Structure 1
Amino acid sequence: MKIRTLLFGAGQGARQYIENNSSSREFVGFLDNDESKHETSFEGLPIYAPFMLGELIYDQIVITTQWALDVQKQLINDFGVDVNKVVLPEKKQLKKPTPFLNPVSLDLARHIVKAINTLAIERELPLATDFGTLLGIVRDDDIIPWDDDIDFSVPVERAEAAEAVCQRFVEEQPRTLFWRLEKLKNNAGKSAGLLIKFTDPNGEVSEFTTSVCFRENVDGNALHMPSLGMWYAPVEYFDQTEVFLWKGTQIQVPKNYLSYLSFVYGDWKVPKKDIQLSDYAHTREVSFEDVKSAAMSCELLEQSNAR
Structure 2
Amino acid sequence: MHDEKEFDLESSVERIESIAGVEKQCEGRSSWECVLLSRRQGRPGAQQYIDLMCDDFVELHGDRLYGDDRAMIGGIGTINGRAITFIGNRKGANFKDNVLCNYGMSNPEGYRKALRLAKQAEKFGRPVVCFIDTPGAYPGLGAEERGIGEAIARNLKEFSVLKTPVLSFIIGEGGSGGALGIGVGDKLYMLENAVYSVITPEGFASILLRDPSRAQEAAEAMKMTARDLKSFNIIHDIIPEVSGGASVDPAFTANLIKQVIIRDLAILCDKPVENLVRYRIKKIRGIGEYQGEKAWWEPLLRVFQQTVDLK
TM-score range, shorter chain: under 0.3
Q: TM-score, length-normalised on structure 1?
A: 0.27
